[in-house]
Amino acid sequence: MAKRQEILNDIHNIINEGLTSSTKDFNSNLNLKKIIKNLLIESNSNPDMIKFLEPYNKELNQGIREELLAESLFNGVQRYAKVLPNIRSTVNELQKSINENRDNILLVQYYNNMNEGAQTIAHDAFINYMNNKSLNNKADLSEMLEAYSSVDLNVNNFLNYLNEQQINTIATPNVINLYDNVNESQTIDFNGQKFIEDEKGNLHPINSQKIQKINEAIDEYVDQKVNESLAKKEAEKAKKGHFNDIDNNIQLRTVVKDLQESYPNNKGLQDLLNEYASALNAGVREEMIYETFMQRAYEGYSYLNEVEDAINDMQDRIKDHKTTIILTKILELMSEDFNYSHFVPLIEDCVIDYEKNPNAQNRSILMNQLRLYDSCPYVRNIMACVNSNNSKEGLLVRESNQFIQQKAHIDSIYSPIQYVKDNEFIFEAEDQYYVKKGQHISRLNKDSIKNLSENFLALSKLLNNPNVVINEGETVNDNTIT
């Protein structure tokens, strides 16, 4: 999962790129290159036509805009159409395209007539307007042009033409003000308009459309990170699996099928087998019904050799899976109980880890997780099951004494006792205070120690004095302490 600072850095980059990025160019779809190619073909590569068209091809390849070339190209080829009938349809197509794009042609001409400084300032707003002639984009472009209208007559002519255009009103979107996200040292004010300067020294106007796009980019980025996080969690969940995926090696379905094939004429046995086959087909887990199957099959049909062998084999298979079978049964019952089913996803991963590898570490992790939800009776049953499991090595409660006796050095300690309640008391050892609840011992924190009896603390401190010696079997009176 991405760290917080990485995400903040990415969002900062999105804002920076949004404010300084170049706007995608527009296309009037005059298709002059295609028209020139068709004119050459239709004129049978007439030498005069080739000579006339060659400069246009060259300028187009150099990046000159089609809008600046279309009218002069039409005026020239119109003369050739009088003597070359084959090109007339293409010339008519060019004239139609010019008429349809008359407004774009004029706008590009006005823009091209402005001085270079005005073109640089108004570039992004102009491209945005050419791509989408909305009221908002028109206002943004007008705002850019007004900054130069008093010093460049061509800018003023462009502004006048722009103001005469009729634009369909489009509702202004709600825009979040992102100026606060821009370092003021990077911004430049020019006649009331804010610009940001990039690393190369280029100026980029900060307008509402750019800010809207930045907001959209941030939303998209956040959605992407959320989806990545969810996908990662789902992948981890899929990798760990569901408790239903745990195979406890009961093989009840296989046993039922084999016995059905072995004794097809035994009606009583077939009825029993069909009953359990139907339950399994309906989705009932083997763990929930294998015990009754073994009991009923043994009581009614153990005289049949294959039935007896099947039951004995099943018992051998499940003897190493008794704990995981019980855990699976508890989780299954828990998932079907409306009052407690919401606890399943909270503990399932830890239970699965323990079922797959019931070592001391997984047991400790599981028990710590279960204690958070021990108000649930199913959780308490799981805790009891785990505590009773002694199938693997580890410091489990029932074997801890034996482990300590075999591998640990043991010394007796002497401590006063502060009684709390039945089966619970506090004692001291080497300046540390502990509480013993049943078989569980835990160390007290500093806040809990402050609440202990002053007499108990004083007596504990006295016994820790290196000059104090405890002689077992002797009575220590008020006047003799050695």
**Measured CA angle at 289 (ends 288, 295), to 5 deg:** 135
Q: Answer whether 260's CB lies under 8 Å from 277's CB.
A: yes
Four-CA torsion 281, 285, 286, 291, nearest 10 degrees: -120
User: Residue 3 has what pLDDT?
Assistant: 60
For 338-395, what is each residue's pLDDT tens digit?
888 888 888 888 888 888 888 888 888 888 988 888 889 999 999 988 887 755 444 4
DSSP class of 421 = E
Q: Answer whether 101's CB lies under 8 Å from 65's CB.
A: no
For 458-482, what is each residue's pLDDT tens digit?
888 887 777 777 766 554 444 444 4
User: Residue 15: left (phi > 0), alpha (psi -120 to 50), or beta?
Assistant: alpha
Question: Whole-angstrom Cα distance, residue 57 to residue 73?
Answer: 11
For 398-444, what is each residue's pLDDT tens digit?
444 454 455 555 667 778 888 888 778 888 887 788 888 877 788 88
Amino acid occupying residue 215: N
Question: Is it the case that residue 165 has pLDDT exceeding 80?
Answer: no
Domain boundaries, the chain: 32-100, 245-319, 324-401, 411-482
Query: Which whole number is the average pLDDT over 16-28?
Result: 60
Closest among 102, 73, 97, 83 to 43, alpha carbons compared? 83
User: Residue 67 has what pLDDT?
Assistant: 87
For 126-142, what is each residue's pLDDT tens digit?
888 888 888 888 888 88
Closest among 476, 479, 425, 482 to 453, alpha carbons compared? 425
Cα dist from 233 to 230, 238, 335, 380, whole Å: 5, 8, 21, 27
For 184-230, what is each residue's pLDDT tens digit?
445 555 445 555 555 555 555 555 556 667 777 777 877 787 777 77
Residue ranges in 337-445 assigned as alpha helix (H): 344-356, 360-371, 377-387, 397-407
Whole-angstrom distance between the N-terminal and C-terminal Cα of the chain? 63
Give the tokens for residue 98. Answer: 């010019």
For 33-74, what is each residue's pLDDT tens digit?
888 888 888 888 788 888 888 898 888 888 888 888 888 888
Q: Is 346 exposed, middle or buried (0-12, 13-18, 19+ CB in 10 A)?
A: middle
Chain centroid to CA 349: 19
